[in-house]
Amino acid sequence: FLTSSMHIGALRWHFLLQSLEDLHKNLGQLGSCLLVIQGEYETVLRDHVQQWNITQVTLDAEMEPFYKDMEANIRRLGAELGFEVLSLVGHSLYNTQRILDLNGGSPPLTYKRFLHILSLLGDPEVPVRNLTAEDFQRCRAPEPGLAECYRVPLPVDLKISSESLSPWRGGETEGLQRLEQHLTDQGWVTSFTKPRTIPNSLLPSTTGLSPYFSMGCLSVRTFFYRLSNIYAQAKHHSLPPLSLQGQLLWREFFYTVASATPNFTQMAGNPICLQISWYKDAERLHKWKTAQTGFPWIDAIMTQLRQEGWIHHLARHAVACFLTRGDLWISWEEGMKVFEELLLDADYSINAGNWMWLSASAFFHQYTRIFCPVRFGKRTDPQGNYIRKYLPILKNFPSKYIYEPWTASEEEQKQAGCIIGQDYPFPMVNHKEASDHNLQLMKQVREEQHR
């Protein structure tokens, strides 16, 4: 089911399987267990409803088109086979349909209007309480051997490499530990503002909880209310859209807009997206994806993404701008597909929404702001420690050359043990010329479509 809707890379599969294994272990401590059945969901339900005497099927009420289709099919099956279908809003803070109903379809939902509607709705529903051992006492114990028959698959069962280099481990247990670790520093929580975090710090300068929310290991409502309690005890705290709660509301905003927008993950037929004649260049796209652009800051980010499955949001801004309106003028859809494959927190609504935003195709209109692939990283990491970690071929360059190694003399390149054009590529574009040219293209596109 997942592979028919998304292209998921090995790291995300590892994270998912670890999450399921953790869930299985935690359910075991409550006297229950997790049975994982593989197959087409309609066939699986038909086979097991009567065999196991299933009377109720529950699922998250989702916003994405393929999940909506699945829910409709399951409801149809329930009517046919005689089981109840219970779907509850759990993956988001609010019921997105209520927000859309209050907006009334017009005017278009901006972030400012979205926040106004939330103020009318009040706080999201309180999190559902955690299940306890008593909740499972009425459940039938599975037949002997059933748990082994329907165990959580191993990577080898899914023909995935058994090695995972990512430092991120899936599961509720790990997610809760990260949550507690961040919430102990209440000063950091109350003063958090998104722009002040550092994209090239060697440890995440944000919470790093997004993979756990994306996979359902952590409840966003639990996080929202834990933050509310900390804010209530503080004299001052940061506010949306820059605060930690503000980050959850951005997530909510993209879910809401995506649920109401046809063809949200593509340009054609997408009513909120600028229609742009992007270049089709498979070779340039491949260089960007495989960290061969010749700009160390960009290549280090793409290397971290491939190795670990996570990069800071400002690092995402940098590589997205470089691929689209900044330097290569390649469609945001291509970048979105790469992120979908490589990111642990890849998400239909947020991934597409951010790519439209960063390519200035929707939402964001300050398109004259273009990230420099040299200066942007240098501002927060002048010594280039991030580049030295992810591009060890450049680690011996002096700091003054680490972001622009092609400016070092031949002798200095030899001393660093890396010849540009041989051991590491020359820049694939002249940033100044490319960005100036693309800025003119963008101005032209926007003027034409405004008319």
- Backbone φ and ψ of 57, nearest 5°: -120, 125
Sign of CA dihedral 42, 46, 47, 49: positive
**Burial class of 294 by CB neighbour count within 10 A (0 to 12, 13 to 18, 19+):** buried
80 labelled binding-site residue = no
Q: Give the max Cα distance, the chain.
A: 78
Hey, which residues does 424 pair with through a beta bridge?
420
251 labelled binding-site residue = yes
327 labelled binding-site residue = no
50 labelled binding-site residue = no
210 labelled binding-site residue = yes
339 labelled binding-site residue = no
Neighbours of 207 (CB within 10 A): 20
334 labelled binding-site residue = no
Alpha-carbon Rg for the chain, nearest whole angstrom, is 24
173 labelled binding-site residue = no
At residue 291, what is the residue type? Answer: A
Distance CA 336, CA 172 (A): 27
Distance CA 317, CA 153 (A): 35
209 labelled binding-site residue = yes
Q: Which residues of 149-187 are buried (b: 16+ CB within 10 A; e: fewer)?
A: ebbbbebeeeebeeebebebbbbbebbeebbeebbeeee
**Residue 223, CB-side half-sphere exposure with 13 Å CA sphere:** 30
CB 402 within 8 A of CB 384: yes
Record the tokens describing residue 219, joined without a space. 């409840």
Record the tokens describing residue 164, joined without a space. 């995972």
113 labelled binding-site residue = no
364 labelled binding-site residue = no
13 labelled binding-site residue = no
Hey, which residues does 60 pair with through a beta bridge?
88
Record the tokens describing residue 15, joined without a space. 């994270």
* Positions at the binding site for FAD: 206-210, 247-254, 345-347
**Per the annotation, where are the binding residues?**
206-210, 247-254, 345-347
